Amino acid sequence: MNLNKLKKIAIFSDLDDKALQSILDIIILKKYEKNEFLCYSGHEGNSLFIIKKGKVKIIVSSDTGKENIVSTLSEGDFFGEMALFDEHSSRSASIQAIENVEAYIIYKEDFFLILKNNFDIVLKLLSTLNDRIRRQNKKIELLTYQDVTTRFFDTVDNLIEKYGIHKGSSIIISISLTHQELANMAGVSRESVSRTLTKLRKDEVLDIDDKKIIILDEKKYYDYKISAIGDL
């Protein structure tokens, strides 16, 4: 890790070299294997994680034990900031590696020393918290008012926005998800997701390779989405 690489991380992008160096002095790199948990809900939250490489999923469990994937994060994203500001210092969600992950860790005591001298980081944190609350409110609205088909397409649209790689008229969603994980993200049953994916593959709207969704033709996908809402 050097100053230039650290500056590319959004939360640190506006800091001067002196501030960046102070962060380099305390940051720790840790590696996690696929499916390994980086932290658990309810456990002490004493650190901020910044993803260097790989992807993770944020998991919240219901009272019945059902897993709900709230979001996914990738390179440059960070998490754990809510626990840092919580007086009781407990994690509100579990974080699990979707693939092999490398993450930078900054511990609470060191992090607050940095915040005292760098108000820009505070502003970035507040902006991120606001964005996550807005996305969570949108998801609650989706789960409350939208039907299964709309939930499915909205989830795929969000994945396209975050992980979509455009190649000509096609789009590769560069994250591997099982049918169950996709169902959890959409708030629908696995059977509904499997049926919908099978129909979309049959109609040559998309394909799946190594658990990655491939939109075969972007225009056809969005035309299909418009006509399919309420019909699948």
**Residue ranges of domains in the chain, CATH in brackets:** 3-139 (2.60.120.10), 148-229 (1.10.10.10)
Residue 169's pLDDT is 94
Model confidence band, residue 232 (pLDDT cutoffs 50, 70, 90): very low
Residue 57's pLDDT is 94
Residue 200's pLDDT is 93
Burial of 133 (0-12, 13-18, 19+ CB in 10 A): exposed
| Tokens (6 digits) for 1 | 């890790």
Question: Are 72 and 126 contacting, i.e. CB atoms less than 8 angstroms apart?
Answer: no
* DSSP SS3 for 60: strand
Residue 108's pLDDT is 84
Structure confidence by residue, pLDDT tens digits, 7-56: 888 777 777 888 888 888 889 999 999 999 999 988 888 888 999 999 99
Mean pLDDT of 82-89: 68
Q: Is the pLDDT of residue 121 over 70?
A: yes
DSSP 122-183: HHHHHHHHHHHHHHHHHHHHHHHH--HHHHHHHHHHHHHHHHEEEETTEEEE-S---HHHHH
Sheet with 37-39, strands from edge to edge, namely 37-39, 94-97, 56-61, 67-73
- Most confident of the following: 21-25, 115-119, 124-128, 163-167: 163-167
Cα 122 to Cα 137: distance, rounded to the nearest angstrom: 22
Q: What is the mean pLDDT of the chain?
A: 85
Q: Is the pLDDT of residue 94 over 90?
A: yes
Name the residue with higher pLDDT: 104 or 146. Answer: 104
Residue 213's pLDDT is 94
Bridge partners, residue 215, by sequence: 171, 206
Residue 52's pLDDT is 92
Model confidence band, residue 88 (pLDDT cutoffs 50, 70, 90): low
Q: Is the pTM of this model over 0.75?
A: no
Sign of the CA dihedral running 149, 153, 156, 158: negative
